Structure 1
């Protein structure tokens, strides 16, 4: 941590926070929800020591980066504008981009809209957009939610989820991070009936520390979300249909950037949202697939749960460029 530098600037109309370490060619690490830049803490020094300038933003509406209250400000162009604006602010023409969940979807959008800014992509867990090209994702989630609890539909209305999560940030973060890990099967949360509150649907957890997450990390997450609230993160869900419609023009066109993938055998997204053969589909979605790796005994939080292996693989990927 002593080598990390924290930065704040107004970029693309919002106050943005990011952390840096190292010198050399740039790599930008993009987190998902409910994360902050700290979720990459294990990989930052590994890549910096390998001769890379590691840039780790808090994504729009999360951590210390400002989040507009209106979900329409979380569309493709706003989020891509955050990434290009960050590169412009730092005087960078291009960077390698690595991401998980909403973070990697933002990278895919960037690669379609501004491919010259993307030197390569390292995708964790999500090899492609997870939604169906034929049905808007919030519509699909609402249909599922008639039968059982679905977090995407729970987040959709403005107000109830915001209030509930803002009132109990530590409890929510502790429970949801555990549920997303390989120590639990996240889809068991969906066995709860419609109408239940998310905090009640999530499992109770063993006491911290866990093998891959400590009490001080939970405190850092909690402090950031207690300050910012969860509305920014939830707005990424509320804008899913908007981004889905914007992607229609390029959805079936392969990305031509060098592509690396790291997945885990217990990941909920690979299990539920990417079809019967998500790895087999990768060559149809990317024209320059360099390497695909799957790690055992980990869930959706792979860069925390298998920190050393992920860091080693990411270093191998960038060195191969």
Structure 2
């Protein structure tokens, strides 16, 4: 793995955020989710730093980045602003963004708000937001799958929570233990505030305006079919949300963390898509 001898910091307002930087070339930003941190993408660093500037930010709420204890600080639009601030800090006009889970929601928000800063978008096992707004409000199966989020939404800083339950779907025992230790030593309030601000909650049955939830640049969706949190219906009619090309890759043996659980295939598929994107073949 290329050596990043120390972490770097940038600020968005009064919130300081850590990031790691590897390689040279077009900017490729990987954005982690929950329960996780930026090094969840360690299996992508070697491959893509060969010819890209690989950037791994640590989201606000996840140490050593700042953890503001204000629910409004975790609005998806605010966190998308962190990614704009990162590009400004590095004097990068546009980048390719890839995200999973919380990071996947954040990069989608970035697309909706600041499409001029993206060259392309990679979505790993994260709800297609327009479809999710329908499923969570009208589909009993999806409501059942996302019951876990209700405790997160109600959580207040300092409340007790079950760490083993939080990390239960990380399939690699060694990595699960590593993340459990990281969470044990990190304040949890900001992480759960994200769910309060961004995740649909009861009362269900609402009809949400999804007209602004379209993707304005080439995209690839990489989806582990053993996904524990989201119904396969998330991929139904996916094409209607994408204004340019979209490629969908399904991995039968991977789950919520395909970039870790089936890293060789993910890297190969992502490399293929990047080549097509960067040579104007999409």
Q: TM-score range by the shorter chain?
A: 0.7 to 0.9
Measured at CA, do residues 66 and 42 of structure 1 come closer, stay the same or move farther in structure 2, by a change above 3 Å? same
Matches for 1:149-228 after TM superposition, within 5 Å: 150-159=147-156, 162-165=158-161, 172=163, 175-179=165-169, 181=171, 212-214=172-174, 217-218=175-176, 220-228=178-186
Q: Which residue of 2 aligns with 1:35?
A: 36
RMSD, aligned α-carbons: 3.0
Alignment of 1:298-313 (within 5 A): 298-313=254-269
Counterpart position of 1:279:
235
Deviation digits for residues 243-265 of structure 1 (CA, Å, limit 9, x no counterpart) = 9xxxx666455212101111112
Residue 233 of structure 1 pairs with residue 191 of structure 2: yes
Could you tell me how far apart the structure 1 residues matched to 2:146 and 2:119 are? 40
Offset, 1:213: 4.9
CA contact (8 A) 2:221 2:248 kept: yes
Q: Which aligned runs of 4 or more in structure 1 are off by greater than 3 angstroms?
A: 133-137, 175-178, 217-220, 248-253
The range that moved more, 15-24 or 250-259, is 250-259
Cα drift, residue 159 of structure 1: 3.2
Between the aligned partners of 2:254 and 2:213, the Cα distance in structure 1 is 31
Question: Superposition pairs for residues 30-179 of structure 1, below 5 Å?
Answer: 30-49=31-50, 51-126=51-126, 128-129=128-129, 131-133=132-134, 150-159=147-156, 162-165=158-161, 172=163, 175-179=165-169
Distance in 2, Cα, partners of 1:151 & 1:31? 19
Q: Secondary structure at the match of 1:93?
A: coil
SS in 2 for 1:261: strand
Shift of residue 72 of structure 1?
1.4
Relative to structure 1, the CA distance from residue 8 to residue 227 in structure 2 (aligned partners, 3 Å threshold; closer, same or farther) is farther
C-alpha distance in 1 between matches for 2:88 and 2:36: 24
Deviation at residue 218 of structure 1 after TM alignment: 4.6
Once residues 148 and 237 of structure 2 are traced to their aligned partners in structure 1, the CA distance between those partners, rounded to angstroms, is 26
Equivalent residues, number: 267
> What secondary structure does 1:35 align onto?
coil
- Normalising by structure 2, report the TM-score: 0.83
Q: Could you tell me which residue of structure 2 aligns to residue 317 of structure 1?
A: 273
Question: Which structure is higher in RCO with an 8 Å CA cutoff and minimum separation 6?
Answer: 1
Report the Cα distance in structure 2 between the residues aligned to 1:213 and 1:241, rounded to whole angstroms: 28
- Summarize the Cα distance change of 1:2–1:118 in structure 2 as closer, same or farther, 3 Å threshold: closer
Q: What is the CA distance between 1:133 and its match in structure 2? A: 4.7
| Cα deviation code 1:40-78 (max 9, x no counterpart) | 0001111112x0000011112013211211211111321
Structure 2: which 5+ residue stretches go unaligned?
A: 202-207, 278-282
Query: Residue 105 of structure 2 contacts residue 127 of structure 2 at CA under 8 Å; is this kept in 1?
Result: no
Provide the C-alpha distance between the structure 2 equivalents of 1:224 and 1:31, rounded to a whole number of angstroms. 14
Contact 2:167 / 2:176 at 8 angstroms: preserved in 1?
Answer: no
Alpha-carbon distance in 1 for matches of 2:247, 2:199: 31
2:155 & 2:40 partners in 1: Cα distance? 27
- Superposition TM-score, scaled by structure 1 size: 0.74
